[in-house]
Amino acid sequence: MWQKVSKSFGQVAQEYDAWYQENPIFASEIETLRNLGPPKQPALEIGVGTGAFAVALGFDYGLDPSLEMLSLAREKGIKAVCGIAERQPFKDKSFNACGMFFTLCFLEDPKKALSECYRVLKPNGNLYLGVIPKDSPWGVYYEEKARQGHPLYRYARFLAGEELPSLLDEAGFRLKAGYSSLFISPKASPKKESPKEGLLTQAGFWAILAEKL
């Protein structure tokens, strides 16, 4: 499936990148993720796309299967590598931090991807996640877009909130911190929001920090 997902993202790379410019939703997500603290480099973002999150958060390496996306990430100064989350082309214990922001839902095998993150992280390395919980209003909204044949979200498989802690535990990670934002309706006019501590069920976005045990 990753070939189809990669092709679909590559076809809209320029429009996708433009969405982040001065977008209050993106600003809310970044503020929420920054509450987790900065990643210690070398830091790898998996599913780096055009590099918007990597640049904003301080990830210096990026992995993505889309050459069109990687080209834009490289223009932003990211050390971008072509590859997929389930088979990362890096040596064991290469990075101090890994990040996946809106990536897990587009993967064929999220468990394998988390195991690969564990493998490439150094001891006590940190894993940063940004996710839309399936059971949140935003998860319901995007799943409806998927049913309507949205060119990107038709490939998304969102995880329920209660699935994430068990997935992290199975992969060998300990949950360290969590913050939530996007409490407004997805159909309301977008505005920047301040994050709240904890993984809250009414939030459309979760920022999660976990540590390799």
Say how many residues make up the chain. Answer: 213
Q: How far apart are CA 14 and CA 37, in angstroms?
A: 29
Domain membership of residue 19 (yes or no) is no
pTM: predicted TM-score of the whole model, two decimal places: 0.95
pLDDT of residue 5: 86
CA distance 196 to 178: 9
For residue 190, what is the domain's CATH number?
Answer: 3.40.50.150
Residue whose entry in the numeric block shows the structure tokens 């072509």 = 82
Q: What is the DSSP string of 127-182?
A: EEEEE--TTSHHHHHHHHHHHTT-TTGGG--PPPTTHHHHHHHHHTEEEEEEEEE-
pLDDT, position 121: 98
Residues facing residue 196 across a β-bridge: 180
Contact 22, 47 (CB under 8 A): no
| 153 domain residue, yes or no | yes
**Positive or negative CA dihedral for 85, 116, 122, 207?**
positive
**Is the Cα torsion angle 190, 204, 40, 82 positive or negative in sign?**
negative
Does residue 32 fall inside a structural domain? Answer: no
pLDDT at 204: 96
The reply to whether 151 falls in a domain is yes
| Number of domains the chain is built from | 1
Which portions of the chain are predicted below pLDDT 50?
Answer: none
Whether 25 is in a domain gets the answer no
The pLDDT tens digits of the residues spanning 109-131 come to 999 999 999 999 999 999 999 99
Its domain, for residue 86, covers: 2-11+41-212
Nearest-angstrom CA–CA distance, 58 and 38:
7
